[in-house]
Amino acid sequence: MLREGEGGASELLEAAVGLREALRGRAALLLVDRTDIATAAEADGVLLTDKGVPTVVAKRMMQQGLVGRIVTTGEAAVTAAADGASLVLVTVSGAPSVLHCPLPVYSVN
């Protein structure tokens, strides 16, 4: 999973392409909220937060890719599934968030 850092879109694209090549199809590459970069990098999909585009828009942009939604309630999970999300991640209040991991965002080594 990649998310945009301070380097902006061009660095995210470069990191996504490099990571996709390093993964060689052994694992899915998902970008957080950047459907445009995921499409350009031929990533496997996106994980959308509340800041991302609506699920139906991302599905249209990704065409064949995975479109996941990160939610905080069961009701939001049901809505995401109804909107066509390929997967839903439910975060629990007080638990560590997948979006706040201490790993470097652009590490491709």
Domain range 9-95, its CATH number among 1.10.150.120, 3.40.50.11540, 3.20.20.70, 1.20.140.10: 3.20.20.70
Model pTM?
Answer: 0.77
* pLDDT number for residue 9: 86
Output the CA torsion sign for 43, 44, 49, 54. Answer: positive
* pLDDT number for residue 101: 44
Residue pair 32/1 in contact (Cβ under 8 Å)? The answer is: yes
Q: Convert the pLDDT of each residue in 46-55 to its tens digit.
A: 999 988 899 9
Q: Please, what is the Cα angle at 58 between 43 and 99, to 5 degrees?
A: 65
> What whole-number distance in Å separates Cα of residue 107 and Cα of residue 69?
24
**What is the residue whose two structure tokens read 């998902």?**
30
| Mean of pLDDT values over 57-67 | 92
Residue pair 51/33 in contact (Cβ under 8 Å)? The answer is: yes
Sequence spans of domains, the chain: 9-95
Instruction: Report the C-alpha dihedral over residues 44, 35, 83, 49, rounded to 10 degrees.
Output: 100
